[in-house]
Each structure stands twice: as structure tokens, then as C-alpha cells.
Amino acid sequence: MAKPLRIALTKGRLEKDTVGLLERLGYDCTAVREKGRRLILPIPDGNMEVVLAKANDVITYVEHGVCDMGVVGKDTIIEMQGKFFELVDLGFGRCKFALACKKGTDFYSGFGVKCIATKYPNVARRFFESKGMDVDIVKIEGSVELAPLLGLADGIVDIVETGVTLRENGLEVVEDVVPISARLIANTVSLKLRQTEIEALIQKIEEALSK
């Protein structure tokens, strides 16, 4: 038997949604659901292995070929980029990147260079470059909403799902940047060497998503 097709899943919500999708395809994901502290888990009836990792690491593992495929949010793909194939929009994990600032502020007024706080500097930089705007970008690791409240930044670029956190902190969306959802990606070499297996899985996934 061929070695298992190894799929890296982003831990958390995307992991749960992906496991649910695999079960809809008829695969026994008991080992994944009862994982304990294990990080590499078998799906024997699909000749697959699931690897659980943080989002950035999913891309790293797929790009370097230690995992054949991965499921990761479009946000991480846009920020990290990299050499891999993006195959399918899985449709779950939907949210968006948005530009937000303090409520009642006219963000685009004035001529000074704006300061933007974000966890995603590459996303923010490309967004403002597309507008021909020169901005200073400050990378924040924690609650990026604090930056405009403390006077560190004029606005933020962040992931917005419901907008509740923004509203509760006196911020509002100025402009949507790009929609986000979970994507299935594949290693470039794996897609050639294991084309039949990967295409068969993609077909099953696309059929399930169309129902």
C-alpha cells in the first residue's frame, strides 16, 4: 500500500470543520476526534494521516513537502504567500480583513502619513499600496484594537467576523479589504507524484460542497 496521504490541519475551528467535512465524505475520523495529545493521527480507511498544527506551520509543512496537503485560512495564505497550489475554497471559516478606526473619524481626510497597526503587515502594506497611499505599519501581536484607543495608530487592519469586538471598543469598519475562508492547498511536488489520489479527494470534496 502507498504511504498515507498526509494532510496538515489548522488547529481549532478549521480543524473541527475539516474533520466534519471528511466525515461527510465517509471517512472514519474517530482517531482525530479522540486525539488526546497526539499530533499525527490516522484515517486508515482513507489511507490518510492528519497533522495538527498552527496556521503558519501548515503552510511551512506543505511548502517543504513533509505534508502533501493542508487546510488553512486565506488570511494566512495572503500574509505568508509561498510556493504551493491553492486548490479548493472550502467555504467555512468565513470572515474578512477590514480597515477600521475610531468611530466618527474620517480616516481618509488630511495629507499626513497614516499609522496602521496590524498582525498582518504584508496584507496591510499591499492594501495601501493598491491605493497609492504611503503608511507607517506597526506590527502588533495581541489585541490590535488597543492601538487606536491608545493613540498609537490612526487605524487597524485586522480580521473581522461579527464586528462585536470593534463596536465594544468604539471602533468601526472603514472599508473591507478582502474576504477570507478556509482553503485546501497542496505541495507542488505531491500534486505531480500523487495526482490521482489528490484529484480523487478533491472531486469528493467538491461534490460534497455542491450539495
What's the 3-state SS for the chain?
CCCCEEEEEECCHHHHHHHHHHHHCCCCCHHHHCCCCCCEEEEHHHCEEEEEECHHHHHHHHHCCCCCEEEEEHHHHHHHCCCCEEEEECCCCCEEEEEEEECCCCCCCCCCCEEEEECCHHHHHHHHHHCCCCEEEEECCCCCCHHHHCCCCCEEEEEECCCHHHHHCCEEEEEEEEEECEEEEECHHHHHHCHHHHHHHHHHHHHHHHC
> What is residue 1's predicted lDDT score, i.e. its pLDDT?
63
Confirm if 183 and 58 have CB atoms less than 8 A apart: no
Q: Which residues contact 37 (CB under 8 A, 6 or more apart)?
A: none
The grid coordinates of residue 98 equal: 477590514
Domain 5-93+181-210 CATH assignment equals 3.40.190.10: yes
> What is residue 192's predicted lDDT score, i.e. its pLDDT?
95
> What is residue 169's predicted lDDT score, i.e. its pLDDT?
95
Q: Classify domain 95-178 at the CATH superfamily level.
A: Periplasmic binding protein-like II (3.40.190.10)
Length, in residues, of the chain: 211
> What is residue 117's predicted lDDT score, i.e. its pLDDT?
98
Question: Which residue matches cell numbers 498552527?
Answer: 54
For the chain, residues classed under CATH 3.40.190.10 are 5-93+181-210, 95-178
Per-position b or e across 153-166, b if 16+ CB within 10 A of its CB:
bbbbbbbbeeeeeb
* Residue segments in the chain with a per-residue pLDDT below the cut of 70: 1
